[in-house]
Chain A
Amino acid sequence: MKRMILIEDRVQRQLNFINQKKLFDEFPNLKNICGDKDYSVIKNLLSNKEFEAVFNEYQVIAIHRSALSTEERNKLIEYCKAKGKSLVFFSGGISSALLRKLNNSNLLTINSKDFYSENLFEFLKQGNEDLRLLAFGVKWELCLLIKLKDKLAIYVNNFMNDNIEFQELKAELNIGEWEIEIFKENIENLNDDTILQPSSLINVLSSLNKKIKSKIYE
């Protein structure tokens, strides 16, 4: 797994949420900077905008929102955008989890209590850097399925007047690699030149529906 750094300015707050600090020790890829001297050193570096010195080796950065000033937060966002690092701001004042794109990475803002939850340990355990797991828990794959179904359903019911080449559909709906697999499961010998009829896409929708239901009710 790519390494994650977690920066919390108040020891007791972390302990209040997770209770057993030693749980973090099971994850060697996690660097937990929680209060005390380590935090002071890091905070000093961050205040001087020396992000590279602190974050160079980490792909995921989680930091308590109030540990940084607004200006420092914005600078860190710019840094993560430029370096393609995923960023998590957690705080008690955040009302609901919100995941946003930062060029090739993501920014998650999340309430502290939701952050220090089972999802965090599942995220660390799976070693996947997709913040959706952190934000939405183990059902995060549903996001991808629903997103694809939404796009496809709107297209089929509102814009599809005729048959369409798969290549054209991919461009039209911005279909990614993972999503192509879903089409391949339902359409034999699919390639970019395959001409798709509305009925084929309805089959894909129906298949998506089954997958979604099985995920919801599993």
Chain B
Amino acid sequence: MSNVLIINNTLKVLQNEFFEVKIVPIFDNYTSDIDKILHDFILELDKSNVCSLTIPITLTDNALDFTGLRFAHHVRLTNLIKFRSVPMVIYGSLDFEDILKLTTWANILLTNGTYYVNISEFSFEKIQKFLEAEIMKPKNFSLKNFLERIDIKPPSNYESHHSVDNELSLLRWSEFLKCDDQIPEVKENLSTNLYFKYHKELNPLKKVEDGKRYLIEGRGRILLIDDEAKKGWKDFYSNLLKHNIDNKSIELDSLDIDFKSQTKEDIKAKAITKINEFKPDIVLLDLRLCDSDFSSSVQPNELTGYKILEEIKKINKGIQVIITTASNKAWNYQLTHKAGANGFIIKKGDSDVAEDISNIKKEIEEGLKRATFLKPIYSSLESSIKYWDSYNLPERKNITDVFHDKLWNKKLKLQVIDFLKNSFNTLENENLPEHFTMSILLLYRIIEMINEYFIIESGDYRNKTIQYNFDIDNSNVPKITNNGNIEIPPIGTTLSTKEKIFAIYYKLNGNINKSLFDKINQLTNYRNNVAIHPNKRFKEESLEYLYDSDFQKFNKNLQDYFSAVFEFINSLK
């Protein structure tokens, strides 16, 4: 049984049999942090059977550092040790109310089992007598009462620069995956730092039975852009995705640069180069990547991560950007969502870890799924827009209705681009109900508009006088059947939208494109049999239904529908 009396090097050493006198070796180590020194000393002290502690207010000769009070907090908050609940006497020559006035560390003196003795009034002999009686009593310490009374602030610049939640999430999520040994620096900091000990007691980690890694559904490339990737986040994601990386269904890479020495523009430029080279399906993107991002005056849309998000969406809107953030500011979510962010991984130090990991899995799976269909469609969309933009659309010769004029060709050029973009935007906007089918309706409208432009319709289908001519040369529009027969239909024969498209293609190219016509056929069938019937939009063949039930089929059909229109546009001569 040891009644430990801590002294500092300015105090005259007391010699008696009751107290075991110790000095905390603060001066032996110039480079370690105070919390590390105190933590190590406490673990060393735990080897003896400590039954009481008598501690000066300060362990150094600087009365205002209150290191003794800090030490007392460590004792109470270090759950590894046997003596955390022993009676503690804090001694000093200040009056009690003066200490309370000087520092919030003094709140510990208001907790059960911790006592203050003013050594201007009492001798160590009296402290000894008090402790002799005290150690015979049941322990008075209550963690609940302790936590209610004290308030430990995070180290000054953790509030911004090194987010507490960021480090805690890294540790807790890594613990869950049992890969925390790969982040020794973070682990040591979190186990020795007083604030993190306090945080851990306030937010105890729920015991996780099985933190085994997940197998993520889907395939693709994931790029991590995080200034702390090397600090442990890359290791965390590597472990989370290990099974997929091993079976080569997922490739993980990170932007491997020294973020600290780079300017915002440098980081942005290097991120763009990396994205163009690696061609990710998902980018896990941190918003604050360089020192200037941590300035209190920086606007959210000036953050380096935000700028990179804008660039990613210019490269390919289908790349899924998941923002990894410890921010609790709602405007960050709103703004980045508006700029095209597709998901969020929120780093919170006090959340349910199993749920967090499950959410990350869902975000990544959903991201891979969405990138699978959005990325190729966006690439083709871009080239079709480029083609259409440069296409020399002949001026419409016959103006046959009140809705059109001489500027029809100029308007059509703009309208097609508009509808192409809108069909993609609708496709990717999961907040819109039935957005897959709606995007197909917009897409289909493009071929209807092109039909209306190239083909003049005269007569009336009701009295069977309808007939069709090309605007370019007034020649008859042929009917091209599914099996490739070409014939000039008799007057009164109605041509469907897809038949008109086949005819335009034939007129401009002089041949039949079976594969394209098949796709146009499929698109038309979907439009006619599902899309225009609201009651059928969730039935078996609908895109909405297939997305969840048979993603491969969904993707195949969707790519075919879009490429039908893209290929048709690209074929216009």
- Residue positions of A touching B, CB distance < 8 A: 10-13, 15-16, 19, 70, 73-74, 77, 92-102, 107, 109, 111-114, 132, 135-136, 139-140, 142-143, 146-147, 149-159, 172-174, 205, 209, 212-213, 216-217
Specify which chain A residues have a CB less than 8 angstroms from the CB of B12 in the assembled complex: 151, 154-155, 158-159, 172-173
Q: Do A139 and B157 contact each other (CB < 8 Å), given the known contacts A150-B10, A172-B12?
A: no
Q: How many Å lie between the Cα of A142 and that of B102 in the bound state?
A: 11
Contact A96 B35 (CB under 8 A): yes
Given A111-B157, A113-B157, A154-B11, also A96-B291 (CB < 8 A): no
Check if A143 sits within 8 Å of B291, measured CB to CB: no
CA distance A113 to B153 in the complex (A): 14
* Interface pair A212/B94, CB less than 8 Å apart: yes
A174-B33 contact, Cβ under 8 Å, with A92-B157, A143-B63, A147-B63: no
Cross-interface CB contact of A10 among B14, B27, B31, B261, cutoff 8 Å: B261
Chain B contact-residue range equals 35 or more
A146 and B30 within 8 A (CB): no
Q: Assess whether A150 is in contact with B195, with CB atoms less than 8 Å apart.
A: no
Q: Report how far A192 CA is from B521 CA in the complex, Å.
A: 112
Contact present for A16 and B193 (CB under 8 Å): no
**Does B291 contact A12, Cβ atoms closer than 8 Å?**
yes
Report the Cα distance A159→B120, complex, angstroms. Answer: 13
Binding site for A on B (CB under 8 A): 10-12, 14, 26-27, 30-31, 33-35, 56, 60-65, 67, 70, 92-95, 98, 101-102, 119-125, 155-158, 161-162, 189, 193-195, 260-261, 290-292, 294-297
Determine if B14 and A150 form an interchain contact, defined as CB atoms under 8 angstroms apart.
no
**A158→B14 contact, CB < 8 A:** yes
Given that A16-B292, A93-B162 are known contacts, is A150 also in contact with B64, CB under 8 Å in the complex?
no
Given A12-B292, A95-B195, A154-B119, A143–B30 Cβ distance below 8 Å?
A: no
Q: Which chain A residue has the least Cβ–Cβ distance from B263?
A: A12
Residues of A within 8 A of B93 (CB): 146, 149-150, 152-154, 205
Chain B residues with Cβ below 8 Å from A136 are 62, 64-65
Q: Find A158's partner among B125, B155, B157 (CB 8 Å cutoff).
A: B125
Q: Would you list 11 pairs from A and B whose C-beta atoms are within 8 A, ordered by A residue?
A: A15-B295, A95-B155, A95-B193, A95-B195, A132-B62, A139-B64, A143-B64, A151-B10, A154-B124, A157-B119, A157-B123
Complex interface: chain B residues within 8 A of A113 (CB): 156-157
Q: Is the CB of A12 within 8 A of B290?
A: yes
Q: Which residues of B contact A73 (CB under 8 A)?
A: 31
Query: In the complex, are the beta carbons of A94 and B31 less than 8 A apart?
Result: no
Quick check: A158 and B124 within 8 Å, CB to CB? yes
For A157, the chain B residues whose CB sits under 8 A away are: 119-124
Known contacts A12-B292, A216-B101: A92-B62 contact under CB 8 Å? no
CB proximity of A132 to chain B, nearest CB, Å: 7
User: How distant is the Cα of A157 from the Cα of B126 in the complex, in angstroms?
Assistant: 10
A113→B333 CA distance, assembly (Å):
28
CB distance from B388 to the nearest CB of A (A): 45
Taking A12-B291, A16-B295 as contacts, is the C-beta distance between A95 and B119 under 8 angstroms?
no
| Residue contact A140 to B162, C-beta cutoff 8 Å | no
Give B11 Cβ to nearest chain A Cβ, in Å: 6
Asked whether, in the complex, the Cβ of B26 is within 8 Å of the Cβ of A98, the reply is yes
In the complex the two chains form, is A100's CB within 8 Å of B30's CB?
yes
A107 to B27, CA, bound (A): 10
A146 to B70, CA, bound (A): 18
